[in-house]
Chain A
């Protein structure tokens, strides 16, 4: 891989007795949308806080633009745009004051672009931040994250609790960012639909462990969902070697499997079952299957 924008190697983090991150190794290549999925508490935000240099790696290492974000915060943060689920914006400021304040931090701040987004989002410059609705606050956070045209845009669960129109604005921002040559996005969400729409690369965290990390097309191509029907109802799931997950009841059982490692018709024949359906698994099904796998 060309120099990755972000590289994490053997990163672990514990909070008390809880392993928030367990030996995570991944690389984010330039120009891609890196989708990070996982349930609440899976470690997504913990990972992102390490990338931002807010937390120092206890074990392992973290590099962003080839630099250690903890020891070189200005060089790293100056090139990152960041939006979290609850944008931490000072409520007492007016919108115009906040944007001027942000501008002072970023030499590359693009006022014309910020103005264009303000208009598109219908944000009033005179409003106090604390009087804005949740959606408008998210949009303001998006302008703050995007208007300096960062090399790396990090969005941590940006869509949580927002209506579909604001979510659309966020997805548009992601697409705008990657269509500009060379810029990269890390997008964490538990909304798999959104991640699948915009991502090139998918990483799945479950209880601090990286379960999957591959190009999205590969993930999709690898996983199939096979629906089996048995002549007699079964009390226990059929044992299928090479399956990632088997679920069902009675006569119908669904097998999520790695397409390359399992020959569907041979499996069905061995089990004395018939294949009712064999199709690509959805991301949701893949996610559930891997989360159940220990």
Chain B
């Protein structure tokens, strides 16, 4: 948590900065599923921010289904969040290998992006067509 640097002089409200940071930490696995987040008091003192700002950030994460508030015991990262994080982790090497191969064909970033979007669009259209037939 020590790495979290808030910048009040940005226009972005502090609670949004806290939410973004925690989401990032959860997505990268720095904070794991089932793990308890620091208490409001601890977090406020560590980050030097008003405790209500921490409460608001935790509530936002709760309404997005990322954490759950267990009464009397604290705030925990939901287990379901980890499934997603794990999947993203599994997907990373697949996409890396694919991009490596595409680059050997001398395709640049823009080409690769266009190919990827094109492929996704084709699949989307096919899916919609199947749905219409059904």
Q: Is A97 on the interface with B (CB-CB < 8 A)?
A: no
Q: In the docked arrangement, what's the CA distance between A194 and B12, Å? A: 15
A284 touches B9 (CB 8 A): yes
Checking B12, B40, B50 against A197 with a beta-carbon cut-off of 8 angstroms, the contacting residue is: B50
A197 touches B14 (CB 8 A): yes
B45 touches A176 (CB 8 A): yes
Q: In the docked arrangement, what's the CA distance between A193 and B48, Å? A: 11
- What A residues does B52 contact at CB under 8 A? 200
Q: Is A198 on the interface with B (CB-CB < 8 A)?
A: yes
Q: Is A279 on the interface with B (CB-CB < 8 A)?
A: yes
- What A residues does B34 contact at CB under 8 A? none
A197 touches B13 (CB 8 A): no
Checking A168, A175, A282 against B11 with a beta-carbon cut-off of 8 angstroms, the contacting residue is: A282
Instruction: State how many angstroms separate the Cβ of A33 from the closest Cβ of chain B.
Output: 6
Q: Is A237 on the interface with B (CB-CB < 8 A)?
A: no
- What A residues does B45 contact at CB under 8 A? 172, 175-176, 179
Q: In the docked arrangement, what's the CA distance between A235 and B9, Å? A: 30
A171 touches B48 (CB 8 A): yes
Nearest chain B residue, comparing its CB with the CB of A194:
B8
On whether A193 and B8 interact (CB within 8 A), knowing A168-B48, A178-B51, A179-B44, the answer reads yes
User: A196-B9, A197-B14 are known contacts; what are 11 more A-B pairs with Cβ within 8 Å?
Assistant: A179-B40, A179-B41, A179-B45, A193-B9, A197-B8, A197-B49, A198-B50, A220-B11, A221-B13, A280-B12, A284-B9
Q: List 20 A-B contacts (CB under 8 A).
A: A172-B48, A175-B41, A175-B45, A175-B48, A194-B8, A196-B8, A197-B8, A198-B49, A200-B52, A217-B13, A220-B13, A221-B13, A225-B11, A280-B12, A280-B13, A281-B11, A282-B8, A282-B9, A282-B10, A283-B8
Q: In the docked arrangement, what's the CA distance between A192 and B10, Å? A: 11
A175 touches B51 (CB 8 A): yes
Q: Is A199 on the interface with B (CB-CB < 8 A)?
A: yes
Q: Is B6 on the interface with A (CB-CB < 8 A)?
A: yes
Instruction: State how many angstroms separate the Cβ of B126 from the closest Cβ of chain A.
Output: 38
Interfacial residues of chain B within 87-108, with CB under 8 A of chain A in the complex: none
Query: Which residues in A have some Cβ–Cβ distance to B below 8 Å?
Result: 33, 168, 171-172, 175-176, 178-179, 192-194, 196-200, 217, 220-221, 225, 279-285
A178 touches B50 (CB 8 A): yes
Mark interface residues in B4-27 (1 if CB within 8 Å of A CB, else 0): 001011111110000000000000
Instruction: State how many angstroms separate the Cβ of B34 from the closest Cβ of chain A.
Output: 26
Instruction: State how many angstroms separate the Cβ of A193 from the closest Cβ of chain B.
Output: 5
- What A residues does B48 contact at CB under 8 A? 168, 171-172, 175, 197-198
**Top-5 shortest CB links A-B:** A280-B11, A196-B8, A193-B8, A179-B41, A171-B48
Instruction: State how many angstroms separate the Cβ of B101 from the closest Cβ of chain A.
Output: 39
Nearest chain B residue, comparing its CB with the CB of A220:
B13
Nearest chain B residue, comparing its CB with the CB of A217:
B13
Q: Which of A171, A179, A192, A220 is the most central at the interface, judged by chain B CB atoms within 10 Å of its CB?
A: A179
Q: In the docked arrangement, what's the CA distance between A279 and B9, Å? A: 13
- What B residues does A33 contact at CB under 8 A? 50
Instruction: State how many angstroms separate the Cβ of A244 from the closest Cβ of chain B.
Output: 15
Instruction: State how many angstroms separate the Cβ of B15 from the closest Cβ of chain A.
Output: 8
Nearest chain B residue, comparing its CB with the CB of A171:
B48
Q: In the docked arrangement, what's the CA distance between A221 and B56, Å? A: 15
B51 touches A197 (CB 8 A): no
- What A residues does B51 contact at CB under 8 A? 175, 178-179
Instruction: State how many angstroms separate the Cβ of A254 from the closest Cβ of chain B.
Output: 12
- What B residues does A172 contact at CB under 8 A? 45, 48
- What B residues does A192 contact at CB under 8 A? 8-9
- What A residues does B10 contact at CB under 8 A? 282
Instruction: State how many angstroms separate the Cβ of A56 from the closest Cβ of chain B.
Output: 33
